[in-house]
Structure 1
Amino acid sequence: MKSLCRWFLLALPLLLAGCVEPVDLKMPDDEKVMTISGMITTDPGPYYVYVNMSSPYGGNLSIVDPAVHDAVVRIEDETGKVEQLAQYQRGVYRSRADALGVKGRVGGTYTLTVRLKDGRIYQSKAETMPAVPAIDDVKSTYVQRTILKGENELPDNRFELTLQMKDPAGERNFYRWDWTGVYEVATQPWEYTEKDLRTGRLVSRPKSCCTTCWVKDSINPISVVDDRLFNGNLVTGQQVATIPVNAQTLSIRYRVEVRQYSLSETAYDYWRVMAMQTSKTGSVLDPPPANAKGNLYNVNDPNEMVIGYFGASAISRKIINLSRTDVPNPPPLFDYDDDCRVINNSTTLRPSFW
């Protein structure tokens, strides 16, 4: 079978012409828009729901609007079981992690309701969780390449990860993939130096902590596809991750967890438009501007724009470990004369799986 990536590129014009309904964004620049997102999965939870309001034109999502504080957020399934989520942080609500909380299951149907303090009620359309096949294997390919920076060519080597899975026959399936990486770093805080403010010279300021950290890496482009080009077949070439190989990321080893999500057709349409909008290059071939249409609405004012999606996805996962011994020309050992905790997304807590 040809690479799924190649089939996907051949089908791209058909996908771009699909039946995704854009939302008209003709509205005042200063008008706030409700944004709600969340997902229930087959993982045990807790599940998180994010609620905020922002301007549709460059609003700052890091500032949580007071209107969404202390909202009543509930998830209900088709059996009538309801769980009210607790406010974890302002604008962030989470379910219980124990057996009393709502649980995601294949075939279950879920609805989200958000009631703000001012009485506005937002609800998602019912979402039924499809099944997802297992990931049979994840393969890594080491790719050597360079990039031009000024007049210099610099190494930009990477691992490209592709998965193998068997798509169920006789039914339409929609998929999304993402991944999380964790790698270990060893730094040299005892060699730390600072510029003396009086003399302007670098002086030794050794630090007693810390030398060993684990860094979380999860920068993911949106990756979605439907199975109409490979229905019922073995998929062997779907690229799901690109892992940079340099002194920091592969000084010791790198653990990658690849996740495969089942999607409903409406969730696929939403994520497909999101992928098109976030991958624009400024080319004349870019798709025209459109806002991904979610499944949330104001109960009392269906014409109000609401951005976001509440989904229900089954998850399968596969873990692969990358080592320096997998690289023909390993990068140098990481040379960083500071506390390893200053590296973004780092922790000194050794992961349970390490």
Structure 2
Amino acid sequence: MGNRLKHIVLFVFALALGYGCKDPYTPDITTRNLNYLVVEGQIINGQKETRIKLSRTAMMADSAYVRDENNAIVRIESDNNQTVETVKVGDGLYSAGILNLDVNQKYRVYIQTLDGKEYTSAFVSIYNNPPIDSVNWRWDASEGVKVFVNTHDPNNNTRYYRWEYEETWQHDVYFESSLKYLPQPPRLIDRPLNEALPLRCWQYENSSSIILHSTQRLANDVVKDKQVALVPNGSWKLGVKYTILVRQFAMDKQALDYWQMMKRNTESLGSIFDPQPSESRGNITCVTNPSEPVIGWISAGSVQEERIWIRRSEVPGWRYALTCEEYDISPNPDSLQFFFEGGMLTPISQDPLTGRVKAVAPYCADCSVRANPVRPSYWQ
């Protein structure tokens, strides 16, 4: 969700430019801080934890782009006055735990920020979310590995769908370093076992685009081969092994309209001469100041998940290789200091006769330079 937030923030600032501008113009928007509240999440019924993420838009000149909204009061409320308080579990992240909701009631999110402002989403019904039938993949020689989702509602009641995904992939390095550099005086020693550089790591990436589909114009509520992700040809994601967890959400027509508008706005930002983004108000209101814009849409329902795994060996013709050049380094102190003290190279071995050192770029001997050495609990 974090990458998507950056697109949303860009949309907000573009929105501030106004509409219908035709003359060339360089806006001074990098110093404006509109400080809008951004609300992400869904009220989830059963099995999965309900989490609400709060943040604030920041100045475009600010490299953080978004700022987490901490120390807020966040709760889930029903239209029969039942409430569930949340607990802060991370920066700007609030958890209501696993909820068992009454499908005959409507629910909303209530927020009180540290400055005393109050916000509420509209009361929404719990929408049916049919199971995912399958997630599969196909290799397109010109583009890469495409991932598709299939689902259907036999009662023809769902019609409007949204998906997110989480990718994880294994990253291995080719060289094991048996040496460690010490600077005073410049020398190499055998690397201690407890300081071994990791050879196998894992990297993660979440979906950053808005993935939607409607079956409203079809006789049957069937989604067939909806593409949700692409692993581009040559990507390191399929260097060894890759998995994707696809999450499916159901929603009503109003929610679909909101997400479609957000999709158009975030994907069309580019030139001042492009059609200007339309104002995309969600279903969240600042009670304290109703004219204050709030970014986000709250829906309620279950979440459906499906995970698949792809090995590199399963993809015919896949081309990926970690490019690692071996360097031959003189063992004199000046050379050792030059190549190793600043981390330019990592020593891997030393010739016992000549003393010359074999070295590689750090990412070729230490996978943690590019990824996380902690094995995910779900990895198989």
TM-score (norm 1): 0.74
1:111 is matched with 108
Q: CA deviation at 1:108?
A: 4.9
Deviates more, 1:260-269 or 1:77-86: 77-86
Per the alignment, in what secondary structure is the counterpart of residue 42 of structure 2?
strand
Instruction: Decide whether aligned partners of structure 1 residues 189 and 126 sit closer, same or farther in structure 2, where only a CA change above 3 A counts.
Output: farther
In structure 2, the residue matched to 1:131 is 128
- Map of 2:54 onto structure 1: 51
Partner of 1:93: 94
- More deviation, 133-142/203-212: 203-212
Q: Distance in 2 between matches of 1:83 and 1:326?
A: 47
User: SS in structure 2 opposite 1:325?
Assistant: helix
Is the 8 Å Cα contact of residues 142 and 160 (structure 1) preserved in structure 2?
Answer: yes
Cα separation, 2, equivalents of 1:72 and 1:169: 39
2:147 matched to 1:161?
Answer: yes
Cα distance, 1:133–1:337 mapped onto 2, change above 3 Å: same
**Distance in 2 of aligned mates of 1:330 and 1:24:** 42
Question: Is 1:142 the equivalent of 2:139?
Answer: yes
Equivalent in the alignment of 1:246: 234
TM-score (norm 2): 0.69
Query: What is the match of residue 177 of structure 1?
Result: 163
Deviations 1:1-58 (A, max 9, x none): xxxxxxxxxxxxxxxxxxxxxx974799444322222212245343222223335867
Deviation at 1:268, TM superposition (A): 1.3
Q: Distance in 1 between matches of 2:216 and 2:105?
A: 24
* Counterpart contact for 2:156–2:221, Cα < 8 Å: no
- Structure with larger Rg: 2
Structure 1 vs Structure 2 CA RMSD: 3.5
Query: In structure 2, what is the Cα distance between the partners aligned to 1:302 and 1:262?
Result: 28
**Aligned 8 A contact 1:276 1:287 in 2:** no
Give distance in 2, aligned partners of 1:92 and 1:255.
25
Residue 374 (structure 2) pairs with residue 348 (structure 1): yes
Give, in whole Å, the separation in 1 of the partners of 2:101 and 2:145: 33
Amino acid at match of 2:140: V
Note if contact 2:128-2:158 (Cα within 8 Å) is conserved in structure 1.
Answer: no
1:244/1:56 Cα in 2 relative to 1: closer, same or farther (>3 Å)? same
Deviations 1:44-102 (A, max 9, x none): 343222223335867754434xxx542211111345331111222343222235xxxx3
Q: Secondary structure at the match of 2:176?
A: helix
Distance 2:217 2:132 in 1: 18
* Letter of the 1:351 counterpart: S
Sequence identity, in percent? Answer: 21
SS class of match (1:268): helix
User: Partners of 1:113 and 1:299 in 2: how far apart?
Assistant: 10
Which residue of the partner structure matches residue 314 of structure 2? 326
Question: Which residue in the other structure is 1:299 paired with?
Answer: 287
Cα distance in 2 for partners of 1:204, 1:292 equals: 61
Gapped runs of 5+ residues in structure 1? Answer: 1-22, 146-156, 198-202
- Equivalent AA in structure 2 for residue 289 of structure 1: P
Contact kept? 1:129, 1:262, Cα under 8 Å: no
1:70 equivalent in alignment to 2:74? no
